[in-house]
Amino acid sequence: MARRKTDSDWVQTAFSSLREAGYRTGGARSQVVELLGCEDCALTALEIDRRLRAVGRASVYRTLEQLEGLRLVQRVDLGGEAAGYERVSPGGHHHHHIVCESCGKVVPFEDPGLERAIKRVSLEASFEVAEHDVTLRGICARCNG
Amino acid sequence: MARRKTDSDWVQTAFSSLREAGYRTGGARSQVVELLGCEDCALTALEIDRRLRAVGRASVYRTLEQLEGLRLVQRVDLGGEAAGYERVSPGGHHHHHIVCESCGKVVPFEDPGLERAIKRVSLEASFEVAEHDVTLRGICARCNG
DNA sequence: ATCTGTGCAAATAGTTTGCATCCTC
DNA sequence: GAGGATGCAAACTATTTGCACAGAT
């Protein structure tokens, strides 16, 4: 699920957006951005904190909040106790998740038809819709025996 | 958003499902079920606890967990700090949510086309998909000025 | 009578905040 | 040098658990 290939476009974009937004470039924030850049699916704040020993937990949360505000990162609830965060490629395709209720496995998927349906609903709504997320829950093939 | 008309079908079903599942009928659980039965959109555990003064908080959480396990209730993450819970009418239509990122307002919506798209994805997936939820986030008309 | 359900209080887990210090601009 | 960025520890909030007692079957 986790790709080791960094999405340097996103990392690049993230840094410039942060700069434009008036944030200075400190070590903690950069590390969080870099980490999110090489992870394709959701990571919880605690996982990030665990992987980034040198970074304080508070900084992880603060950075995630800022990135979320700039829509560079999206928060997703995958049913576990902690919230997940994953990068959003501006304009690029994004994915949704299927979660196994038995073993907790999370699998990402994409579906153009689903995106179209959501787009349509978004346009009809009285809200100005900026983002969306979809979560399917069920039992994975392995757990299903 | 909150209807005052109890969905007695659901309440009925909930009680029989609970009984079938081997749960005894105690006062706390009944009160939670009744409350969920007359609320059409999501309620947090804390809201339920607040409204049901006589019921212990732990019982609220325990009941919600049991109901969720029986798929009588669905947990939804609406971005706030607490998780929301709302009843699921077996076989009946369900709704999704649009959340205002500015004022927190939650508006439910239904869309057959969206449901179809999700149905299709569910069938294609390697998982045995049992439920799903969709959340749109944006700015409501009022906040948008 | 038995064994589950319930409330209370304590324990956890995740997240946020206060503050002194460090570092970027 | 000034003001944001960071780490640490304390504070909070939501949720879970332990346990003695009440209540359902």
- Residues of A near B (Cβ–Cβ under 8 Å) read 75, 77, 79, 83, 98, 100-101, 107, 109, 111, 113-114, 116-118, 120-122, 125-141, 144
Residue A67 pLDDT > 70? yes
The nucleotide minimizing the C1' distance to residue A46's CA is: C14
Tokens 């395709």 appear where? A93
How far is the C-alpha of A35 from the C-alpha of A29, rounded, in Å?
Answer: 10
Chain A residues whose beta carbon lies within 8 Å of the beta carbon of residue B136: 118, 121-122, 125, 127, 129, 131-132
pLDDT averaged over every residue in chain B: 93
Contact A114 B118 (CB under 8 A): yes
Asked if B136 lies within 8 A of A127 by C-beta distance, the reply is yes
With bands split at pLDDT 50, 70 and 90, how would you rate the model's confidence at B4? low
Residue A1 has pLDDT above 70, yes or no: no
Query: How far is residue A96 CA from its own chain's centroid?
Result: 10
Question: pLDDT digit string (tens) for A26-47?
Answer: 999 999 999 999 998 999 999 9
pLDDT band at A91 (very low <50, low <70, confident <90, very high): confident
Name which of A1-10, A52-61, B87-96 the model is least confident about. Answer: A1-10
Q: What is the pLDDT of residue B46?
A: 96
Whether residue B70 contacts residue B18, with contact meaning beta carbons closer than 8 Å, is answered with yes
Query: Which tokens in the block code for residue A94?
Result: 């994004």
* Neighbouring C-alpha atoms within 13 Å toward the C-beta of B118: 24
Q: Output the distance from A7 CA to C22 C1' rounded to whole Å.
A: 30
For residue B80, the model assigns a pLDDT of 84
User: Hey, what are B109's tokens?
Assistant: 């919506």
- Strand D at less than 7 A from CB of A13: no
CA distances for B59 relative to A26, A69, B23, B48, B113, angstroms: 46, 36, 13, 11, 38
* pLDDT of A5 higher than 80: no
CB-based contact B41:B105 (threshold 8 Å): no
Asked if the Cβ–Cβ distance from B130 to A137 is below 8 Å, we say: yes
Record the pTM: 0.92
Structure tokens at A24: 């200075």
- List b or e across A42-53, with b for residues whose CB sees 16 or more CB atoms inside 10 angstroms: bbbbebbbeebe
Residue type at A2 in one-letter notation = A
CB-CB under 8 Å, B140 with A127: yes
B95-140 pLDDT per residue, tens: 999 999 999 999 999 999 999 999 999 999 999 999 999 999 999 9
Quote the CA–CA distance of B98 and B22 in Å, as a whole number: 37
Which protein residue has its CA closest to C1' of D8?
A56
CA distance A35 to A12: 13
- What Å value separates CA A23 and C1' C14? 26
